[in-house]
Amino acid sequence: MNLSEANVENGIPSQKLRPAWVNLPTAITLLRLGGIPFILLGLSWGSPLGKGLAFWTFLLAAATDWLDGYLARRHGWVTDVGKVLDPLVDKLLVLAPLLSLLELSRIPAWGVFLIVGRELAIASWRVNQTQIRGANLWGKAKTVTQILAVALLILGWPVGIVCFWLAVGLTLLSGLMYLCYDDAHGDPLSQPNKEGSSV
């Protein structure tokens, strides 16, 4: 007799077991991913309405990055799938509008290339790691600066290009710090491995 049959016999409703990663934080992460097409659509319109759609969708999606990480840590819903999916969606959320802004000639191609190159380098390096590492403070600063730069660039504010170059610098620096330091050797800026972190 299997567990389901035993539960039925004992009057306990039989429930299908679901993977651990099927939880609220993962759903929020996937919802953030679903916002990316609306950001690109808004930017492609080239109108005040489109700008508003892109800006508010991006801002809402960026805000949920904090929410899913908080819920995962608060309720013990941190999973390996979440640790991979969350930073991947974070990168797509930033890179997608940057490529759209590049197409609109608002930012230079080589700046975007440096950001994409860094992300690919870190992703390739992580493939060979036996344990998924969390972010350090440089990675968090990079993420915040990228989000701020994209938001300001969507609005078309001149200060956005300044934030963009600051984001490029922090992106390269955080990547270098991530590669050069290891938690086991006491990197003082490293944070515990947790869902909702960015590198």
* Orientation of helix 137-155 relative to helix 80-103, angle to 10°: 40
Residues 149, 164: contact at Cβ < 8 Å? Answer: yes
Q: Note the CATH number of domain 19-185.
A: 1.20.120.1760
- CA of 181: how far to CAs of 4, 135, 136, 185, in Å? 48, 11, 10, 7
pLDDT at 108: 95
pLDDT at 4: 44
What residue segments make up the domains of the chain, in order of their start? 19-185
The model's pTM: 0.77
Residues 115, 164: contact at Cβ < 8 Å? Answer: no
| Mean pLDDT of successive 10-residue stretches along the chain, which has 199 residues | 46 54 82 95 94 96 84 77 82 94 95 93 74 68 93 96 96 86 48 52
pLDDT at 136: 66
Q: Could you give the maximum distance between any two Cα atoms of the chain, in Å? A: 69
pLDDT at 16: 54
The residue behind tokens 């759209």 is 100
